[in-house]
Structure 1
Amino acid sequence: MIMTSAVTPVLPADCTLPNWLETCLLSHRVEGERGTPPTDKSNSELVCRAFEFAYALHQGQMRASGEPYICHPIAVASLLRDLGGDSAMIAAGFLHDIVEDTDVTPEEIEAQFGGEVRRLVEGVTKLSKFNFQSKTERQAENFRRMFLAMAQDARVIVVKLADRLHNMRTLEHLKPEKQRRIAQETSEIFAPLANRLGIGRFKWELEDLSFKYLEPDAYRHMQDCVSEKRTDRESRLQLVAATLRERLEEAGVKVVEVSGRPKHLYGIYRKMERQQKAFHEIFDVAAVRVIVHNKDECYRTLAIVHDAFRPIPGRFKDYIGLPKPNRYQSLHTVVLGNHGRPIEVQIRTLEMHHVAEYGIAAHWKYKESGGSSNTQVTTDDEKFTWLRQLLEWQSDLKDAREFMEDIKGNLFAEDVYVFTPDGDVVSLARGATPVDFAYRIHTEVGNHCAGSRVNGRIVPLDTPLQNGDIVSIITQKNGHPSLDWLNYVVTAGARNRIRQWYKRSHRDENMARGRDMLEKELGKNGFESLLKSAPAQTAAERCNYSSVEDLLAGLGYGEVTLNLVVNRLREAVKLHQPLTGSEVAQSDPEGLLAEAVTSPSRSHSSTSSDSPILGIEGLLHHMAGCCHPLPGEPIIGAVSLGSRGIAIHRQGCPNVEPVPGDRLVPVSWNAGDSKNGHRPPTYPVQVRIEVIDRVGVLKDILSHLSDLQINVHKAQVKTFPGQTAEIELGLDVRDHAHLEQTFNQIRKMTDVLKLRRLSQGE
């Protein structure tokens, strides 16, 4: 275990200790010297020990800016303290990079600082010590882990947001390509997360900093525009604020604050883009905020505002009656100010203001007397249903790219508010349909949905819902999802539930397909024993499946690739290698994984012959059109009765069975011919793909094939009402291994249900 001594840290001038930390350290040491415990153990001892521990371990490490690395944990801990974080959060701020950047283990952190701090640090730590197939997969696993930790304790994501905010503040020291990558991730994930948690001060700064690196020219232009008009804008805001303050005092409304608030640069830029307007055409680039004592005074203030200034129709929003999903509450109205220009007025209570600024952190910074500062978000917290849905959906998404797309879509989604017949408010993504509503209520309601009523009228299931609609679902006992629903549902939850139902209804078929694929790759000897071994279960869990059967079904359905499964099996066998004797044999019976190769084809020995087919050199021959043999597959020659010479078939081709033995010629592929340039570059193959029928599925498949540089010489689609669709493609591939690689890429697509190679006449 690593121990640290309580020495006074010496930092360079450009990295000074904040006053709060100096006070904490001084109090801690003075009381320690007296031999008495600190006066506030939770806010002093733990924080000081965490700082000293991080200081010792980060000594000698430098940031890209050239400053000591410890400056970063100090800045993160300070941000968390400003949010009102408790001692465990602040300690985690100091320690959040320890596991990733040093040899300290989570067990050592728990031994020194307790399980609470360990959980926070582990939730933030990246998965840098695992091997992933791609950056997308690594990113997806990082977020899966973070969201799971966040479900147990929402403080995890607050620590991560503080970490990301300070990194964004110092981003100028990195290379441009890394700046853009980090800024893009911040814009797509972390700023929306801050918004979902209601931490407005983090959200605005993260958005502006991302904007600075992603759109530098537009950012500088916005800075110039805002600076030029600042004096006029501030004078208008002051005049409106003074008028409101006077009118409110006359009406006897006790005002906490009336002030002007400039809107952040990215917010103004997005409004310009959305409305296709120039800066001078955007009037509400700033707002007047009125803070009062209670909810009743909010509505009284609204009446006074509308009496003092002319309200603009259609620009009033009541977020007190219908709070945003992040619990933001306020009254927003746009009025014509003293100068005849529109200006936004926001009205809220002091408590609402704290929630708007600090979001979930308002629990810690402004907790009621007797309240706990260790407020945690659980899956039962109705105020964070979006988090529960994220966690439900991520368990269904095995493909890293699809997981990231759904996460981004859910975080960015604008909400529409509808009501159940009992008057409960349900928030859905804009454009949601009754099917989305049904699945939000319960999975079984969605699976048995047969119709819907909106405001008392029966409407089609693809009807977009509007704010204030009262929705009820008509269910049937024998009802089940329709594949057509995938063409119009907009929420990830509904889409994935429909797919999951379809996969479960074909589970046995998918398991059989997955088993065949894996057995073909690894061979039959010892295959059944391998599937029952501990490494197989470990591999399934690393692929985010709870059992080997689920893994085989996912492989057959195309959720996970064959290469990934084999690689995870290899890693699992290595993990179990410390076992000896019979245990090793049980982990890898017959040495399957030691001998397995990434492609099922085996190369023949090279030869100097110029003919692409060995055994018929100099004879007239052609590739049989019935089975389209590929290099790497076992082949046989059959002498044709006509003048076409010898037809080359795949071994096992039905058309070879009736051919007399005296007309069969043993042949094989010339592995060395590809090096000599004599082998034709591609061979034709016919494939049939069964897919979920939706708009754009053929385009997506062709896009995947284009990325693999596969030529498609034929495409035909057959659709059947209410059923799956069939796509027949003619592909040009180099050899059998190339075909298997192509099949693996197509099977990865979520909408692909079956994929097989065709023979002539099918």
Structure 2
Amino acid sequence: MNVATLTFPTDIALPEWLQACLLEYRSSSGSSSDAPLADADLICEAFNFAYSLHEGQYRASGEPYIAHPVAVAGLLRDLGGSAAMIAAGFLHDVIEDTDVTAEEIEQRFGIEVRRLVEGVTKLSKFNFSSKTERLAENFRRMFLAMAQDIRVIVVKLADRLHNMRTLEYLPDEKRRRIALETREIFAPLANRLGIGRFKWELEDLAFKYLEPEAYRAIRQLVADKRIDREARLERVATTLQERLDQLGIRCYDISGRPKHLYGIYEKMQRQQKSFEEIYDIAAIRIIVETNDECYRALAVVHDAFRPIPGRFKDYIGLPKPNRYQSLHTVVIGNTGRPLEVQIRTLEMHHVAEYGIAAHWKYKETGNSYAKLSTDDEKFTWLRQLLEWQNDLKDAQEYLESVKGNLFDDDVYVFTPGGDVIALAQGSTPIDFAYRIHTEVGNHCAGAKVNDRMVTLDTPLKNGDIVEIITQKNSHPSLDWLNFAVTPGAKNRIRQWYKRSHRDANILRGRELLEKELGKRGFEALLKSEPMQATAERCNYQSPEDLLAALGYGEVTLNLVLNRLREAIKARQPIVAVPKEESTNTLLHPATSNTPVQPVARSKTSPIVGVEGLLYSLAGCCNPVPGESIIGVVTMGGRGISIHRQGCSNTENVPGERLIPVSWNTTEGNSRPQTYPVQVQIEVIDRVGVLKDILSRLSDYNINVRSAQVKTFPGQTAVINLGIDIIDHEQLERIFTQIRKMSDVLQLRRISQVDEQPGG
């Protein structure tokens, strides 16, 4: 890039730091195109590149779009971000909003900037079946990028914070959606990274748009009480300052600080109290030099004011998962009202404000970009999110797990060796066991808490010492799902149960495939090269693994059949046959026993080939449009019975009674809108599982005609549903959605035999 191309834009006001950077760059001679850019050069060229690309683009507020990247870069600079981070702040939208590629960014600015920009780029250029799936994929991609470089999420948080600051210009529905996502995902992420200043502002801005009336009311109440509050805090601060000086404790700062508005609102809701009943609207913060002085200052506070029992927390000895450290105590102040006091060192205060940005910790690689060490205990929560990437296929379940893992309501317990384990509130020994290791959880036979035997559903409390007793022949129980709290534990229990039913899943997969392909030559086909190739194309090592996945529902029957056809076509020519013939005919075209005759299409009958004849759909297999079908001339003058190709009731029917038929796909036919289908679902028995399944069906406008649930103590439950389906494609679509649910173990189509072909 030519130095002379750098100019000061006239359409926006640049911050002073950027103006100074540009002036310094313009006065220099520039840098060689072959040499890495210096920090100031990198920042200036990134700004200039982004400015030229976003020229002519405007935000909803009407201001030039470049104002947003400039603001994001400024936030990153305030956090102490590197030149690469600031450059990524300028460039974070160019891949999404312009024709620039990631490769071009790497060529101009290096691999480090490219990885940061790619990590925060949304998946707007990909197609997903729902907003939920799109959102889940966005977060999956973002967390994977975070594992490469934790700074990715810091850039993303800066991007979200500025968007929240300018949210007022968007339509109300979009404002609420973005605000809710901010509260549920991004504010907890900021908290997990310890970036307090981002967390508080994100929460308050989300509060402003999600509960506008409550926001205005609390803001007014805080403003009205400000003078009295500041006077009261000043008196307390003066008293403490004098006593600290007498003991020679150096105090960098002692002052009152108001709590952010959403924190006040949340406490009011949680404790069901009015604003006047919340005593810690503000707190005194004491900043000293050393850890030892923190505890000495605590003694001064407790000597000057009466402490309230049970309200002391030592986050220095036991830091929060985001590395927050401080001493918290609540005392009775000068006015007789409770007052919170926080004591920390200057370094602790910096970490509380800036979090991970206060002490970037990286492993340098040959590519000179920062990579997260996932062994670092600070990022246990991120490792768990990464583990769920493959385990939780369902988008909604994945999002719920993400939200549950991000919120900072943890309980801290100890292993017998003294290691600290952070778990969600309400966690039990089962959650603890699976946090230690999957095999510890799978072989858990009992637990001791503080050297006493307890039941596995006992909630753990802060400071508990937990010991898990294992036995080789022990295994998970379905009952554990009723009291396990953490998503990781629940998922591992389900995964064990699925694996333990492998033989049944293989058998079910064989039945599904055999029903479509026919029995003739099926065993040979399973051992053939095309079947092995099909398994590998579906990412399984063997046909047996593929059958197990098919039986459980990890892959659909249509996918397996399509891959199998492709594998066979790659090995030998296939004789062309009508679409209406069975899959078995596609695999063995030269030996099909079914006569193929041209038939006239009717615009009034849903079945082609039975014009003028009495016919009915067979209740034994309930065929639906889109499936291959065959007609059977019934005994006793009841006309033609329409069966699915491969129906077991047609296997022994003489060839002269078989009639080639097909579905009428001509527009304007008078076929019914829906067809009855019976399905059977084996599920892990829990409260609400039927409701969840019915909700999925409702989302796809599927009518449920009947529902029956059979439960067995200590075992799985069986749900039989009668549903109305438009065609086979819709049936496969809803089967795929139900199979994605983690509680669903098996799903199959069943028959109600109300007519025999030979009857």
TM-score, normalised to structure 2's length? Answer: 0.85
C-alpha offsets along residues 554-591 of structure 1, whole Å, 9 cap, x if unaligned?
Answer: 56533566789999x99xx9xxxxxxxxx9x8699979
- Could you say if the C-alpha distance between residues 336 and 55 of structure 1 is closer, same or farther in structure 2, counting changes exceeding 3 Å? same
C-alpha offsets along residues 189-214 of structure 1, whole Å, 9 cap, x if unaligned?
Answer: 11110000000000011111111122
- Once the two structures are TM-superposed, the CA of residue 630 in structure 1 deviates from its matched residue by 4.0
**1:138, 1:534 → 2: CA distance?**
29
Corresponding position: 1:757 with 2:749: yes
**1:589, 1:213 → 2: CA distance?**
63
Contact 2:191/2:408 (8 A) holds in 1: no
- Could you say if the C-alpha distance between residues 104 and 41 of structure 1 is closer, same or farther in structure 2, counting changes exceeding 3 Å? closer
1:450 matched to which residue of 2? Answer: 445
Contact 1:615/1:667 (8 A) holds in 2: no
Q: What are the within-5 Å matches in structure 2 for residues 552-631 of structure 1?
A: 556-559=551-554, 606-609=601-604, 615=610, 617=612, 619=614, 624-631=618-625
- Could you say if the C-alpha distance between residues 752 and 297 of structure 1 is closer, same or farther in structure 2, counting changes exceeding 3 Å? same
Q: What are the within-5 Å matches in structure 2 for residues 284-683 of structure 1?
A: 284-364=280-360, 377-412=372-407, 414-506=409-501, 510=505, 556-559=551-554, 606-609=601-604, 615=610, 617=612, 619=614, 624-633=618-627, 634-639=629-634, 641=636, 650=644, 653-654=647-648, 664=657, 666=659, 668=661, 671=664, 675=668, 677=670, 679-683=671-675
- Once the two structures are TM-superposed, the CA of residue 672 in structure 1 deviates from its matched residue by 7.2
C-alpha offsets along residues 206-244 of structure 1, whole Å, 9 cap, x if unaligned?
Answer: 111111122222222222222222222222221221222
Instruction: Report the AA paired with residue 110 of structure 1.
Output: E
- Once the two structures are TM-superposed, the CA of residue 103 in structure 1 deviates from its matched residue by 2.4
- Could you say if the C-alpha distance between residues 730 and 534 of structure 1 is closer, same or farther in structure 2, counting changes exceeding 3 Å? closer
Instruction: Report the AA paired with residue 31 of structure 1.
Output: S
Instruction: Report the AA paired with residue 10 of structure 2.
Output: P
- Once the two structures are TM-superposed, the CA of residue 443 in structure 1 deviates from its matched residue by 1.4
**1:684, 1:562 → 2: CA distance?**
20
Three-state SS of the structure 1 residue aligned to 2:722 is strand
- Could you say if the C-alpha distance between residues 29 and 613 of structure 1 is closer, same or farther in structure 2, counting changes exceeding 3 Å? closer
Three-state SS of the structure 1 residue aligned to 2:9 is coil
Contact 2:6/2:26 (8 A) holds in 1: no
1:706 matched to which residue of 2? Answer: 698
- Once the two structures are TM-superposed, the CA of residue 535 in structure 1 deviates from its matched residue by 13
C-alpha offsets along residues 77-129 of structure 1, whole Å, 9 cap, x if unaligned?
Answer: 11111111111211211222222222222222222222222221221122233
Corresponding position: 1:197 with 2:193: yes
Corresponding position: 1:31 with 2:23: no
Aligned with residue 46 of structure 2, among 40, 50, 53: 50
* Equivalences, count: 725
Q: What are the within-5 Å matches in structure 2 for residues 190-229 of structure 1?
A: 190-229=186-225
Contact 1:607/1:670 (8 A) holds in 2: no
Which shows bigger deviation, 81-90 or 505-514? Answer: 505-514
- Could you say if the C-alpha distance between residues 565 and 494 of structure 1 is closer, same or farther in structure 2, counting changes exceeding 3 Å? farther
Contact 1:561/1:748 (8 A) holds in 2: no
Three-state SS of the structure 2 residue aligned to 1:754 is strand
Contact 2:535/2:546 (8 A) holds in 1: no
- Once the two structures are TM-superposed, the CA of residue 353 in structure 1 deviates from its matched residue by 0.6
- Once the two structures are TM-superposed, the CA of residue 702 in structure 1 deviates from its matched residue by 2.3
- Could you say if the C-alpha distance between residues 263 and 383 of structure 1 is closer, same or farther in structure 2, counting changes exceeding 3 Å? same
Aligned with residue 72 of structure 2, among 71, 76, 95: 76
1:724 matched to which residue of 2? Answer: 716
Aligned with residue 66 of structure 1, among 62, 65, 75: 62
Contact 2:605/2:611 (8 A) holds in 1: no
C-alpha offsets along residues 609-647 of structure 1, whole Å, 9 cap, x if unaligned?
Answer: 46879637475x665544444455524345455x97776
- Could you say if the C-alpha distance between residues 649 and 157 of structure 1 is closer, same or farther in structure 2, counting changes exceeding 3 Å? closer
C-alpha offsets along residues 308-342 of structure 1, whole Å, 9 cap, x if unaligned?
Answer: 22222332222112211101111112222212222
C-alpha offsets along residues 686-720 of structure 1, whole Å, 9 cap, x if unaligned?
Answer: 32212223332222222222333334343333334
Instruction: Report the AA paired with residue 12 of structure 1.
Output: T
- Could you say if the C-alpha distance between residues 608 and 565 of structure 1 is closer, same or farther in structure 2, counting changes exceeding 3 Å? closer
Aligned with residue 10 of structure 1, among 8, 11, 30: 8
TM-score, normalised to structure 1's length? Answer: 0.84
- Could you say if the C-alpha distance between residues 629 and 55 of structure 1 is closer, same or farther in structure 2, counting changes exceeding 3 Å? closer
1:148 matched to which residue of 2? Answer: 144
Three-state SS of the structure 1 residue aligned to 2:90 is helix
- Could you say if the C-alpha distance between residues 690 and 163 of structure 1 is closer, same or farther in structure 2, counting changes exceeding 3 Å? same
Contact 1:562/1:744 (8 A) holds in 2: no
C-alpha offsets along residues 383-437 of structure 1, whole Å, 9 cap, x if unaligned?
Answer: 2211111111223222222211111111125101111111111000111111111
1:97 matched to which residue of 2? Answer: 93
**1:133, 1:171 → 2: CA distance?**
27
- Could you say if the C-alpha distance between residues 101 and 635 of structure 1 is closer, same or farther in structure 2, counting changes exceeding 3 Å? same
- Could you say if the C-alpha distance between residues 337 and 374 of structure 1 is closer, same or farther in structure 2, counting changes exceeding 3 Å? farther
Which shows bigger deviation, 147-156 or 496-505? Answer: 496-505
Percent of matched pairs sharing the same residue: 67
Contact 1:255/1:293 (8 A) holds in 2: yes
Which shows bigger deviation, 491-500 or 622-631? Answer: 622-631
- Once the two structures are TM-superposed, the CA of residue 483 in structure 1 deviates from its matched residue by 2.4
C-alpha offsets along residues 643-673 of structure 1, whole Å, 9 cap, x if unaligned?
Answer: 97776555655556677888x5748577379
Corresponding position: 1:686 with 2:678: yes
**1:605, 1:431 → 2: CA distance?**
67
C-alpha offsets along residues 9-43 of structure 1, whole Å, 9 cap, x if unaligned?
Answer: 23236x2222222222222332327x999xx9743
**1:363, 1:447 → 2: CA distance?**
38
Three-state SS of the structure 2 residue aligned to 1:32 is coil
**1:189, 1:680 → 2: CA distance?**
46
Instruction: Report the AA paired with residue 711 of structure 2.
Output: T
Three-state SS of the structure 2 residue aligned to 1:339 is coil
Contact 2:393/2:740 (8 A) holds in 1: no
Contact 1:263/1:286 (8 A) holds in 2: yes
**1:699, 1:660 → 2: CA distance?**
46
1:578 matched to which residue of 2? Answer: none
Contact 1:535/1:587 (8 A) holds in 2: no
1:579 matched to which residue of 2? Answer: none
Corresponding position: 1:167 with 2:174: no
C-alpha offsets along residues 346-405 of structure 1, whole Å, 9 cap, x if unaligned?
Answer: 11111111111000011159x9xxxxx987531110122111111112232222222111
Which shows bigger deviation, 410-419 or 499-508? Answer: 499-508
Contact 1:533/1:586 (8 A) holds in 2: no
Instruction: Report the AA paired with residue 384 of structure 2.
Output: Q
Contact 1:319/1:331 (8 A) holds in 2: yes
Which shows bigger deviation, 244-253 or 623-632? Answer: 623-632
Three-state SS of the structure 1 residue aligned to 2:61 is coil
Contact 1:4/1:56 (8 A) holds in 2: no
Contact 1:292/1:298 (8 A) holds in 2: yes
Three-state SS of the structure 2 residue aligned to 1:395 is helix
Three-state SS of the structure 2 residue aligned to 1:283 is coil
Instruction: Report the AA paired with residue 664 of structure 2.
Output: A
C-alpha offsets along residues 493-533 of structure 1, whole Å, 9 cap, x if unaligned?
Answer: 11222222233344576578679879999999x99878777
Which shows bigger deviation, 695-704 or 406-415? Answer: 695-704
- Aligned-CA RMSD value: 4.2
List alignment gaps of at least 5 residues for structure 2. Answer: 363-367, 587-598, 755-759
Three-state SS of the structure 1 residue aligned to 2:310 is coil
- Could you say if the C-alpha distance between residues 434 and 48 of structure 1 is closer, same or farther in structure 2, counting changes exceeding 3 Å? same
Which shows bigger deviation, 58-67 or 555-564? Answer: 555-564
Three-state SS of the structure 2 residue aligned to 1:128 is coil
